[in-house]
Chain A
Amino acid sequence: MMQIRLLETALLLGLYVLLAGGYGLTYALARLNHRTSLRRAAVVLYGLHCLVAIGVVVWAPLGLGWKALLIASSLAMLVIPPVTWRYLEHTHRTGSASA
């Protein structure tokens, strides 16, 4: 039944963002503590995020446009943590130097 599948999709979408958050958190912690285990955890969490994204794309009764948006979001979520981290380091380096 389409309605039920849409509501199950809602739960998958929640998991989709939650796993992206878990990836961002563990990525940042890994960079902070220089721990390989955390870096691996970040990779695993992003992998799970991708699996959920693939699940939604393949299985969910959403239109093509929404599925494309989810794929684009997944790519953005992959790069946001490293780009943010790099820029944070940059601003702190230059900010502290000029302060």
Chain B
Amino acid sequence: MYRSQKLAVKYLAAAITLFGVMVIAGLMSAYYYINPDFLFGILHFNIAKILHIDTLVIWLLMGFMGAIYWFLPEEMGREPVGIWLAEILFYVFCAAVAIVAVVFIVVQYGSSNEIALWFINQGRKYVEAPRWAALGVVAVMGVFGYNVIGTVVATRRLTGIMAVLMIDLIPLVALYLDAFPAVTNMSEDLFWWWWLVHLWVEATWEVLIGCIMAFTLMQLLGTSRRIVETWLYIEVALVLGTGILGLGHHYFWIGTPNYWLGIGGFFSALEPLPLLGMVVHAVYDAGTHHMKTANRPALYWMMAEAFGNFLGGGVWGFMITLPQINLYAHGTQWTVSHGHFAFWGAYACGVISVAYLIVQKVRGMEQVGGALWRWSFAALNLGLIGMVGALLVAGMTQSFVERATGGSTLQAFIAGQQDPWFVSGMMLRFLFGLVFAAGYGFLVYDLLTLGRRRGVVTAATVSP
């Protein structure tokens, strides 16, 4: 095994651990809606929420990096350039994440001054990490880029997937620099902040996961390079074509010119089209192989990715993407429902798929099977669908009661929060969150013990 692949295993272990922190912080955030006095004066809702969404970003990022560090040496036939630096920075990255989490929990917030920006909290959603840690993320991403691009340069061999990946790494690193400015004009600040958040999530990350899924398809189903590269180009072009200017749907209500209503609505409305193609592609890939593979969990999670992306991004997103409708739905639990479903479908399922693939290779298993991954798959997806369903009900209640009929007054806000449909929705979200947490527990146990438990290999051999 290459050193890069050992590093990949560490990255994936860290990613799955942070996934757990995200689940716990998410459960806490959900519980605050049921019992607002929870941890009163000790840990406020906003801190639990920060931990929830920041760990979401970091665990997915670590998962992507782990996947690339796994596939890179196999693709290039050599150890990546500067891997020693990446090994050091992995520990720096983990230490920084831990320190930032402790500061969030213990110090929580500071005054509105430079010291708070540098050492406590930048106060910008998704990128709350203080500047010193944000600089660390830039260093880690810079080295990651150096590993990938330097290796391609050193081998003097460029494959289609690597070309796409290299091009993608430039905006991936450059856009993160948008995490730093502290602009006091709110509209201007949000304008640029969305470049980071939206263009990472709906552009550079989409391309990155596309590359990762291309590698995974070749290993999992033995699909030929020519096929995956052709489809990678097509899907990346379609996703970028609709996703880049889809940025406009975040510009509806932040003080930007009116033309963004048209641009954002138009390009966002096109976003379901490539996702529909992906659904057909997923059925074709799975069907032509009769769902037969040596690694069923990885295949099922990859299928979940295609369908989850369509439902979470396509269906849930399309409901609220036109500006006339978004006026009433934005910032409600409806948006939260869409965010949960889309992140899960577009990225989380893909990272879990890669985790199963890597576990199989690391432990030298011919077949991966057993019953536990099914429990994990079922509980995680049932929990997630239950959560997004409950959030949808709560969000629709907010949109109808607070926004549409109440006129967005404070009194209407309170009426919305007290509406039985909203309250029931938030209760159900918490309960399904517990189901999701149970699924996470099964997932961790399965990944830790696959190939080491008696019965798993036997079961897998009998039922491929």
> Which A residues form the contact surface with B (CB < 8 A)?
1, 3-4, 6-7, 9-11, 13-14, 16-18, 20-21, 24-25, 27-29, 32-33, 61-62, 65-66, 69-70, 73, 76-77, 80-81, 84-85, 88, 91-92, 94-96, 98-99
Contact = CB atoms under 8 A, between A and B. Distances in A.
B276 A24 contact: yes
Contacts of A99: 224-226
A32 B284 contact: yes
Interface in B87-101: none
Given A10-B325, A14-B316, A95-B226, A24 B279 contact: yes
B322 A16 contact: no
Given A28-B280, A69-B266, A73-B269, A92 B405 contact: no
Contact of B273 (A28, A65, A77): A77
B374 to A, nearest CB: 22
B400 interface: yes
Interface of B: 224-227, 230-231, 262, 265-266, 269-270, 272-273, 276-277, 279-281, 283-284, 287-288, 310-311, 314-316, 318-320, 322, 324-325, 327-329, 396, 399-400, 403-405
B288 to A, nearest CB: 7
B273 A9 contact: no
A21 B224 contact: no
Contact of B322 (A13, A17, A24, A96): A13
B230 A95 contact: yes
Given A11-B396, A80-B273, 9 more contacts: A1-B405, A13-B322, A20-B272, A28-B280, A28-B284, A76-B273, A77-B273, A91-B227, A95-B226
9 contacts: A7-B325, A9-B325, A10-B320, A14-B318, A28-B280, A33-B287, A69-B269, A73-B270, A81-B276
A83 to B, nearest CB: 8
Contact of A92 (B266, B273, B288): B288
Nearest to B290: A32
Nearest to A32: B287
A29 B341 CA distance: 24
Contacts of B276: 20-21, 24, 77, 80-81
B315 A18 contact: yes
Contact of B403 (A3, A62, A91): A3
Contacts of B272: 17, 20, 73, 77
Shortest Cβ-Cβ A-B pairs, 6 listed: A3-B404, A28-B283, A32-B287, A95-B227, A14-B319, A99-B224
A7 B270 CA distance: 20
Contacts of B265: 66
Question: Which of B287, B319, B327, B399 has the most CB atoms of chain A within a 10 A radius of its CB?
Answer: B319
Nearest to A23: B276
Interface of A is mostly: helix
Contacts of B405: 1, 3-4
A77 to B, nearest CB: 6
B324 A6 contact: yes
A66 B265 CA distance: 9
Contact of A29 (B287, B314, B400, B404): B287
Question: Which of A4, A10, A13, A92 has the most CB atoms of chain B within a 10 A radius of its CB?
Answer: A10
A76 to B, nearest CB: 6
Contacts of B277: 24, 80-81, 84
B314 A17 contact: yes
B279 A4 contact: no
Given A84-B281, A85-B284, A21 B310 contact: yes
Nearest to B272: A17
Contacts of B316: 14
B327 to A, nearest CB: 8
Contacts of B231: 91
Contacts of B328: 3, 6-7
B318 to A, nearest CB: 5
B287 to A, nearest CB: 4
A9 B404 CA distance: 13
Given A7-B396, A69-B266, A99-B224, A14 B281 contact: no
A62 B324 contact: yes
B35 to A, nearest CB: 29
B334 to A, nearest CB: 8
B226 A24 contact: no
Question: Which of B287, B314, B322, B329 has the most CB atoms of chain A within a 10 A radius of its CB?
Answer: B322
A13 B319 contact: yes
A10 B281 CA distance: 28
A66 B227 CA distance: 36
B226 A98 contact: yes
A25 B279 contact: yes
A28 B279 contact: yes
A71 B455 CA distance: 54
